[in-house]
Structure 1
Amino acid sequence: MTDIIPFGDEKIFAQMLPFITEDRKNKIMQLKKKEDRCRSLAAGLLLEYALREYGISLLPGKMQQMYLRFGEKGKPVLNGKTGIHFNLSHSGRYVAGVFSDEEVGIDVEQIRKGQMKVAERFFCPEEYLALQKGKMKKADCYFTELWTRKESYIKAVGKGMALDLASFCVLQDQVKFLKAGQTGEWYLQSYDPTSGYILSVCAKKCTKCEIQWISKEMFTQKFI
């Protein structure tokens, strides 16, 4: 996980730009908002940083170079048989990534306020009832937790928002399917990585994640 704030400095932004792929650079140049450019840069750096820990890279050089391809719903995956699965997410000033030897999904969100109408529309009855029972301040946190758990699942399976969010329940640590056609065992974990944010991970394995913060200095040490 990383903070995008340092990349708001134009000098640091330019210094880090060579360490992401050309495709991401082109995407960044099309973004109008500075915050969006910083988030995209941070996501690219976080991915490259983690891949180098595995001894591979998306860039030409001494390490084995890999390439990204995209699924039907746009989920990025590594080409070839690397055995590495990953997913990225961003919200506000933070970018998060998760890496595993099996399919995995992640979502990080700022805590949202007053989202009961959204919950009524998208949550299954069991989830909505659980949300109604909480006090409003806690309900805001609880809504965001449930939302990130749902997002992490649909990102793990690579189906995007085409999947009916009310067709599965995320109240427990394992996804419960409510309609026919959905199978598999998927496990959920939620975290409070920093004040005002909630992060959830969905994976094939029932294991807790170790959250590692990557600073601007760590990126610099890795790449320069």
Structure 2
Amino acid sequence: MNLPTISPSLPASASTQPLLRCCLTSVQPLLDEKLYEKAFSFLPADGCWALRKKKLLRLQKPEDRALTLAAGLLARLAFLKMDVNFSLLSIEKNGKPAILDKRHFFNLSHSGSYAACVYGTYPCGIDIQKHTPDRFHVAERCFTPLEQKKIREEGAQCFTRIWTVKESYLKYTGQGIRIPLNSIEVLPGRLQQKTDENPASREILSEAETQIFSAESSSSPERSPLPVFVREFALNDYWLALTSPVRTGQPPVLLSIEELLSI
């Protein structure tokens, strides 16, 4: 199976600013109805933004509404930081949000109590997952034999790492579940304790750079990884993965809901 690759040209401004930025936020404050209503009013009202607002009005569970609204606020932040007009938001046929100018990119994810966003001048994919035990039955259906072996040896956290990386890669390509999960093979990198003391990234405990391979090359002694960079970050009870054709220069930054509303 030929896996997709994405190779856009490097923008002229790339040498003077980070190509990609990542941020996340805790959605818990949005369970407060007054703050939720205030934050809801910050979302743009036109075009595809209106679709997110309509989706929010249909959601019944407060937790689902908080996650969806937080992701919308992070998307708004990405547009403001990249100086992209809100009217350029589009929804592709596969349901992936995109920017019409094809020069700016962003991707969203949420799980449990966090929403996350990556944005910049290169295609990108992001996924965040809360650690869940006893998921080996899923690995048996969706993962390669080598990945299953690593999970048996290393435990449930390894499952979460592999799943999160696969999801971020599929979102990066825009192919989603059209690419079988067992057609790519993830070899998690060695975890390094975080050395960045930036208080904005205080939730990050450790990180790793990881490689993805085509599963068809699993038996080859000279296999080469796919031409993407994957960076993983461990949080308390969560795992976050970023995939792009370039290395991300900075760790994710944790922003409060109030900080998102002040921008």
Alignment TM-score, normalising by the size of structure 1: 0.87
Cα distance in 2 between the residues matched to 1:47 and 1:4: 14
Contact 2:126–2:240, Cα closer than 8 Å, also in 1: yes
Q: Percent identity?
A: 32
Measured after TM superposition, the shift of residue 205 of structure 1 is 1.0
- Cα RMSD after superposing both structures: 1.7
Map of 1:220 onto structure 2: 261
Note the alpha carbon deviations across 1:113-141, whole angstroms, 9 max, x for none: 0111111111111111111122xxxx111
Amino acid at match of 1:144: T
Q: Which has the higher contact order (CA 8 A, sep 6+)?
A: 2
Identify the residue that residue 125 of structure 2 maps to in structure 1.
Answer: 105
Task: Name the SS for the 1:141 alignment partner.
Answer: helix
Count of aligned positions: 207
Q: d(CA) in 1 for partners of 2:91 and 2:183?
A: 25
Partner of 2:227: 185
Q: Which amino acid aligns with 2:246?
A: K
What is the deviation of 1:112? 0.9
Q: Which runs of 5+ in 1 are unaligned?
A: 59-65
Instruction: Report the residue type matching 1:50 in the other structure.
Output: A
Q: For residue 214 of structure 2, what is the amino acid of its counterpart?
A: F
C-alpha distance in structure 2 between counterparts of 1:190 and 1:168, whole Å: 17
* CA distance 1:127–1:184, shift in 2 (3 Å): closer
State the partner residue of 1:50.
78
Match of 1:86 in 2: 106
1:88, 1:97 within 8 Å by CA — same for their partners in 2? yes
Aligned partner of 1:75 in structure 2 is 96
Distance 1:211 1:6, change over 3 A: same
What amino acid is the match of 1:175?
I
Other-structure match for 1:202: 243
Which SS does the other structure have where 1:97 is aligned? strand
Q: Is the 8 Å Cα contact of residues 125 and 171 (structure 2) preserved in structure 1?
A: yes
CA distance in 2, matches of 1:142, 1:151: 14
1:125 pairs with one of 125, 140, 145:
145
- 1:63 alignment partner in structure 2: none
**Shift, 1:57, TM fit:** 4.2
TM-score using structure 2 length: 0.74
In structure 1, distance between residues paired with 2:27 and 2:99: 24
Distance in 1 (alpha carbons) for counterparts of 2:187 and 2:249 = 17
AA at the equivalent of 1:31: L
Against the structure 1 CA distance between its residues 56 and 207, is the aligned structure 2 distance closer, same or farther, given a 3 Å change threshold?
closer
Counterpart code for 1:215: S
User: Is contact 1:71-1:158 (8 Å) kept?
Assistant: no
Is 1:161 paired with 2:163?
no
Instruction: Decide whether the 8 Å contact of 1:144 with 1:198 is kept in 2.
Output: yes
Question: Aligned partners of 1:208 and 1:126: how far apart in 2?
Answer: 30
Distance 1:49 1:195, change over 3 A: same
SS in 2 for 1:199: strand
Residue of structure 2 aligned with 1:24, choices 52, 60, 66: 52
Checking the alignment, whether the CA contact within 8 Å between 1:189 and 1:208 is kept in structure 2 is: no
Secondary structure at the aligned position of 1:175 is classed as strand
